Amino acid sequence: IASYYIHHDFEDESDYQKFIGKNRAILIRSINSICKTSENLSIAIRIGFDYADYCFQSVNIQNLLLFESLVAYWQIIEKHLRSLLKPIESFNNSKLLSNTDEISFCQHGQRLIEQLLLINSDNNLEFLAYSLRLLTNLYVFTRGENTWTQRILEHLFRTITTERHIVSKLNPLQKQASCLIDLCLNYGHSIFIYFNDLFKVTQDLVRQQTSSEQQTKLAGWQWSVLVECLAILLNHFDSFQQQAIFINELVQPFAQILNNFNSNVNDLQSFIDYIGIKTTPDAVDYTQINS
């Protein structure tokens, strides 16, 4: 299939669409074994970029089925590309790609990343969620450059921690939010320099969320993503003392809430008063029941 793709001259978009539609599932299932040689890896990357360009055409941009397949495809490719970006190594030290392919792929990947960074609409959360996953799958094409890393982290943090009133119980962002965890896990050596910034943002969120005046609260999954990312990056510290200091600063606002709770709540009525439940005229007086 890969050989046919490279040597076949597609007549028009419908011809290309037929090829993708017919072979998409086969490509995704077999891509892991295809990528074991450098030649096939290059072909697989080209297919991935062409497929991405096709998905980003105006007539296809809202086709979630296409976009879901695109993300699945690049998730597999990314696993083979991680070795291209390791600490104290050049981007192409392992020579999995030719110099020409390296330059071409990085340029194409960065153009796609630029498009993904512009996606921020809440009108289609499922599409937004898939765009986050694809963004992290393409991170290797940034070569770990600081400017790209900072922009991607800011976009991910902002999108994941935005407070939204979701009517449906199922939030599509929750399913894909682990992409930020994967990014820290696989490329922590490139992200670690931004630990202090990420920590400060998270700490500010904690203080904001623990304020009694805050009406909309972040969901549990949002907190777990942020905390796990910081925990992963903490592993890059050589000092256990530094790790302990950061952890203590992060949990301090929650500790204050627990202390306040323990000081003010000692029976059912004080608990009701503490959480602010308003009694109604026909409410049962539990204190009378117990008397």
The 10s digit of each residue's pLDDT in 40-49 is 788 888 888 9
Greater model confidence, 164 or 91: 164
Q: Give the pLDDT score at 44.
A: 84
Cβ atoms of residues 195 and 208 within 8 Å: no
Cβ atoms of residues 59 and 118 within 8 Å: no
When mean pLDDT is compared across 9-23, 33-47, 70-84, 122-136, the lowest value belongs to 9-23
**Alpha carbon of 265 to those of 89, 103, 170, 269, 288: distances in Å?**
57, 63, 34, 8, 19
Average pLDDT for residues 132-146, to the nearest whole number?
A: 93
Average pLDDT for residues 57-75, to the nearest whole number?
A: 85
Alpha carbon distance 158, 181 (integer Å): 15
Say yes or no to pLDDT of 225 above 70: yes
Say yes or no to pLDDT of 10 above 80: no
Q: Give the pLDDT score at 209.
A: 67
Q: Give the pLDDT score at 205.
A: 77
Say yes or no to pLDDT of 196 above 70: yes
Greater model confidence, 213 or 162: 162
At 147, is the pLDDT very low, low, confident or very high (cuts 50, 70, 90)?
Answer: very high
Q: Give the pLDDT score at 87.
A: 47
Per the structure block, which two tokens stand in for 75?
């998730």
Average pLDDT for residues 237-244, to the nearest whole number?
A: 78
Say yes or no to pLDDT of 138 above 90: yes
Which residue bears the tokens 């597609």? 10
Q: Give the pLDDT score at 88.
A: 42
Sorted by where each begins, the domain ranges of the chain are 2-236
Cβ atoms of residues 84 and 90 within 8 Å: no
Q: Give the pLDDT score at 7.
A: 45
Cβ atoms of residues 215 and 169 within 8 Å: no
- CB proximity list for 162: less than 8 A, separation 6 or greater: 122
Determine the Cα angle at 204 with ends 199 and 209, to 5°.
Answer: 125
pLDDT in tens, 202-219: 877 777 766 666 655 677
Give the mean pLDDT of the chain: 76
Greater model confidence, 215 or 97: 97
Say yes or no to pLDDT of 281 above 60: no
**pLDDT above 70 covers what percent of the chain?**
67
Question: What is the SS3 assignment for 138?
Answer: coil
Average pLDDT for residues 20-46, to the nearest whole number?
A: 73
Say yes or no to pLDDT of 145 above 70: yes
Q: Give the pLDDT score at 256.
A: 62
At 66, is the pLDDT very low, low, confident or very high (cuts 50, 70, 90)?
Answer: confident
Greater model confidence, 122 or 216: 122
